[in-house]
Amino acid sequence: MVDGVLPLQPAAGTNADFIRSWGHMRTSIFGMGYVGCVSAACLATESHRVIGVDISEQKVRMLGEGRSPVEEEALPEMIRQAVARGHLTATGDAHRAILDTELSLIAVGTPSGADGSLELGFLKNVVREIASALRDKTSPHVVVVRSTVPPGTTERILMPILLEGSGRTLNRDLFVCYNPEFLREGSSVKDFFAPPFTILGTEDEQTFTRVARLYHGVKGEILRCSIQAAESMKTLCNVFHALKIAFANEAASVLHGSGCNPMEAVELFLKDDKLNISRAYLKPGFAFGGSCLPKDVNALVALGKAHGVVTPLLASINASNDSHLDRALALVEKQGVRKIALLGISFKSGTDDLRESPALRLAARLTAKGYDLRIFDPIVCMHNLVGANLTHVARVMPDLENYLDYDLDRVLDHGELWVIAHASPQIRKHLLARTHKAPVVDLVGTSIQDATYFSYQGLCWMPTP
C-alpha cells in the first residue's frame, strides 16, 4: 500500500497540537556506525538537535570532541561544526537520551549469522533499552527502525518488546515506523539529502506525518507503505545491485576472453535506459564488498531456505563475486613477480570500511602465498578502525598494519607490479607523473590517460585507446 507523498498538514486527532509543535526535532540515534554517524551529522546540519548513542566509549569520546568515528566525504567537517554549534552530542546513556528526545532512530548493526540470516541481538537489546526508558517518560515518543531486518521483524519481534517493556499504547503515546536507508559509502552525505525516495513504513497516518517532518530538508518523494514492504526494500535493492555487479563482471570477463572490448560493448548496453533501467552498478570492475551487498544477498537466500523456497539465481551471486576475485588473483600471479604495490585496501574509494573488502581478501591471499606486499590507502588508518570494521580485519588479515605504508612513492618504488584496487584522481595523476613506472594490473577500470606509457592489463577489459 503506497499512499503517496508527504501530506502537508498534520493529521487530525488528539495529538494534533503536539504534531504542529514539532519543527526541528530532538532526536536520538542509536548506533554510531556509518548510517548512524551520517544520519546524525545530516540531521544536525538541518538544525535538528541530535544525540548519538553508542556502547563504544571510543566512538562517544570522538564525537564529543567533534571527530568522526568513520571516514566519509564531508562528514568530519559536518560533525565538527554540528558539535561546535551544540546541535550534536553523544552519550553511552541510552536512558537519558530517550528522556531528552522526541524521536529515536535505530541504526545498529544486524550482521550475518553462520547460515546467512541476520543476527538481531544488538537490535533487540537496543529496543529493550528504549522500552525501559520510556517507562520513566510521559510524553509521546517515536521509534524509527533503520537497521536492515527481514520482513515481519518490526511487527512480530520489535513492537511486542517495545509495548511490553514500555507499558505504552501503539499509535497513542508510542509511534513506530520502519525507514530503510539508501546510503552508499563514499557518497552517503549526498545520498542522505538526495535519495531515490524516502520510504516510511507505517499503517498509521499520524506516525507517517511525525517521521516525515524529520526529512523536511531532503529531496524527492516521501512514500508511505506497509511496514513489511518498507523492511523488504533495503534488501531487495542491495541484492539487485549485487546482481548487476556480478552480471557486469561476468559478462565483461566473457567478452574479454573472446577478444571483444568489454567497455565499448558495456557503454552501448548502458545507452538503453528504457529496458536496461539504470547505469548504476552495471560497469565492470572489481568484486563487490562492504557491509551491505554480500550480507543482504545471504540474508535473502537464507530467508528463502527458511520458507522452503529454492533460489539458485540469488544463491549464485556471491559465488560469482568470489570467482571474480579468483580471476584477479590469477591475473596478478600471471605477471610472475613477487614484489607488489597494492593501491587501495578498503572495499571502495572514499571510505575506510574494510568489511568484506575484496582488496583486503586479495591482500590476505597474496601474503599467504608469500608475496612481498606493500599497501597504500590514504584513508585507512589502523588507529581509527573501530567496531565491526576492526573485528573484520582481525579475522581476515590480522597483520594488515605490517603491510600498510602511508608514503605513496615508497610503496610504488617497492612494487615490481602496481595493482590498482582503487585510486583517486590525484593518485592516478601521480602515477602518470612518475619517471619510473612499473607494469599495472587494474582491477577496477581506473581511467588512466596515456595508459600506453604503462605495461597495462585490465581485469576483464582492455586499456582505453
Q: What are all long-range contacts of 83-87, with beta carbons under 8 Å and residues at least 24 apart?
A: 85/44, 87/44, 87/45, 87/47, 87/48, 87/49, 87/50
CA distance 207 to 170: 10
The catalytic residue among 177, 225, 292, 460 is 292
Q: Which residue has the cell 520502519?
A: 178
What are the CB-based long-range contacts (under 8 Å, 24+) for 457-460?
457/331, 457/335, 458/256, 459/253, 459/284, 459/285, 459/286, 459/324, 459/327, 459/328, 459/331, 460/249, 460/252, 460/253, 460/255, 460/256, 460/262, 460/284, 460/327
Q: Which three cell numbers stand for residue 151?
A: 520482513
CB 215 within 8 Å of CB 198 = yes
- Residues 6+ positions from 213 with CB-CB distance below 8 Å: 22, 23, 25
Q: With H, G, I as helix, E, B as strand and everything else as coil, classify residue 343.
A: strand
Q: d(Cα 156, Cα 159) in Å, to the nearest integer?
A: 7
Q: How many other CB atoms are there within 10 angstroms of residue 113's CB atom?
A: 14
Helix (H, G, I), strand (E, B) or coil at 238: helix
Q: Are 388 and 421 in contact (CB under 8 A)?
A: no
Q: Where are the alpha helices (DSSP H) in 258-306?
A: 262-270, 293-306
413, three cell numbers: 618504488
Interatomic CA distance for residues 86 and 434, integer angstroms: 46
460 is catalytic: no
Provide the annotated active-site residues: 292
